A = this chain, B = another copy of it.
Amino acid sequence: MNGAESLIHTLVNGGVDVCFMNPGTSEMHFVAALDSVPQMRGVLCLFEGVATGAADGYGRMAGVPAATLLHLGPGLGNGIANLHNAHKAHTPLVNIVGEHATWHIQHNAPLTADIAALARTVSAWVRTASSAATVGADGAAAIAAARTGAGQVATLILPGDAAWEEGGVVVEIPPLPRPIPVAPERVTQAAALLHSGRKTALVLGETVMDEASQRMASRIAAATGSQLIGARSGRRVVRGAGLPVLERIPYPVDQALAMLAGFEQMILVGAYPPVAFFAYPGKPSLLAPPDCRMYELADLHSDCLASLAALADELDAPDRLHAVNELARPALPSGPISVEKVWAGLAALLPAGAILSDESVTSGRNAHRWMAGAPPHEWLHITGGSIGQGLPVATGAALACPERRVFAMESDGSAMYTLQALWTQAREQLDVTTILFANRSYAILQGELRNLAQDASGRKAGAMLSLDNPALDWVQLAQGMGVPACRVTTAEEYIGALTVGIEEPGPRLIEVVV
């Protein structure tokens, strides 16, 4: 058994049985070894950012890591942006990067690069395999690293000779590290703060917006009069009818400052003190009032749900939620299409258990107004702020959850970064409906430009934020990659297309000109 075969067997032993890949020559022995391990599913992506984003989406939904297979430093480079998002989301992910054979690196062949340096910027764990005999153990360690705490990106660099030499050893996966329990005194102190009478926010972090955590936190809020607040984005956020009302920190700084004004203390659960997405002249980085006391109940690698349960117990909190979204399906919209009607129509027809990969940016600002009353569903947000994750994350989520419907809520500017994901959706016949808001601009940046105090009406500056010359034709782009697509200008057309997207198998794209 060669090193590549031992690695793939070890990955499968550890529950890692999907690999999103864009291989090259230095990874060819890994590719060849796929056929020796029937349980491993290889998924070809035509750009590495699709592979890493899909692995993020898969890991978020499956709760176990997917693997990637990338081609040397430049291939990792192409995957960096979505690894950054996965890193910030604490998604469990085993990122495998091919490297030249150990004895070849010194000669500085064209593709030689400092892979480890690139990897460290987006990984909690980086190791370079040194031989075929040990690469199985390296793979097991990578899985353990990826599954540590809330989850992590673990990068394993795989030199060609470690893959192709004989002597590979399949390794059993060590028991997963248990979540770190929260010390009882942290719970009693939090309870004391909640009894203090001060105005308190209970802040759920990016990885703590699952249903059980939300319900437990809502019980605490109901029992104490504190306010439940969610992080701006989450790797996986359950929303909809029957679930607690959960207000999240908005992106615009002024709105966030207004929301958090007046709080005297915050109980942080897997959360950081709220920080502005970007810096602006004359505006603060920290969004809470300067004298607001920050108290960390649990960091995100601890057992956050258990800490919430212990706090509810400590408080003798009744089994009653603070506020719950009621089922409220809007009527089907009609007439000329608009952003609002897209969300209303989706809320009207959304199947239960749907997954929304959200990269709608400005077009999604009011989505919650419509979606809160839809049947329970999950949102996957851009946790690291790097645009170009929506289509890949949708791809990986659909692979992880073949029985659920996935909607990629996209903007034209965002979708262009990693549009190659559509091809993988077509190839794997994934049930992903992409709803593409075509506003033909970087609308969020037009807003940012307007926010500058200076004159922002310049022709050249405006041109750098406009996508209308030429207009992108998303129907042709999608069809060119094998995804059926249509363009809608009325709500009726949209509802018709959405119905097909919900009922028919396979991917589909709806371009909404707004």
Contact = CB atoms under 8 A, between A and B. Distances in A.
Contacts of A161: 279, 281
A80 B84 contact: no
B32 A454 contact: yes
A84 B78 contact: no
Chain A residues touching B, range: 35 or more
A32 B80 contact: no
- Please give the count of copies of this chain that the complex contains: 2
Interface in A40-61: 42, 44, 46-47, 49
9 contacts: A46-B417, A74-B386, A75-B81, A77-B77, A78-B417, A80-B80, A88-B110, A108-B272, A475-B480
A29 B460 CA distance: 13
Contacts of A272: 108
Interface of A: 21, 23-26, 28-29, 31-32, 34-36, 42, 44, 46-47, 49, 73-75, 77-78, 80-81, 84-85, 88, 100-101, 103-104, 107-111, 113-114, 117-118, 120-122, 160-161, 164, 232-233, 272, 275-279, 281, 285-286, 382-386, 388, 413, 416-417, 419-420, 423, 426-427, 444-445, 448-449, 452, 454, 456, 458-461, 463-467, 469-477, 479-482
Contacts of A449: 28, 31-32
B77 A84 contact: yes
A218 to B, nearest CB: 25
A232 B459 CA distance: 44
B479 A473 contact: yes
A164 B281 CA distance: 8
Given A26-B278, A77-B81, A78-B388, 18 more contacts: A31-B449, A35-B460, A46-B417, A73-B84, A74-B384, A75-B386, A77-B386, A80-B80, A104-B278, A104-B279, A108-B275, A109-B279, A109-B285, A111-B385, A419-B419, A471-B482, A476-B476, A476-B479
Contact of A476 (B24, B34, B472, B477): B477
Contacts of A35: 458-461
A104 B285 contact: yes
Question: Which 10 A-B pairs give the minimum distances between C-beta atoms?
Answer: A35-B458, A77-B80, A470-B482, A476-B480, A74-B386, A104-B279, A101-B279, A110-B385, A477-B480, A74-B81
Contact of A464 (B42, B108, B465, B476): B42
A103 B277 contact: no
A423 B474 CA distance: 13
A277 B49 CA distance: 24
B423 A472 contact: yes
Contacts of A464: 21, 23, 31, 34, 42, 44
Contacts of A49: 78
Q: Which of A29, A101, A416 is most buried by chain B, counting CB atoms within 10 A of its CB?
A: A416
Which residue, A24, A25, A114, A473, has most C-beta atoms of chain B within 10 A? A25
A103 B160 CA distance: 43
Contacts of A481: 470, 472-473, 477
A207 to B, nearest CB: 14
A474 B480 contact: yes
Contacts of A423: 416, 470, 472
Contacts of A77: 77-78, 80-81, 84, 121-122, 386
A28 B448 contact: yes
Contacts of A382: 110
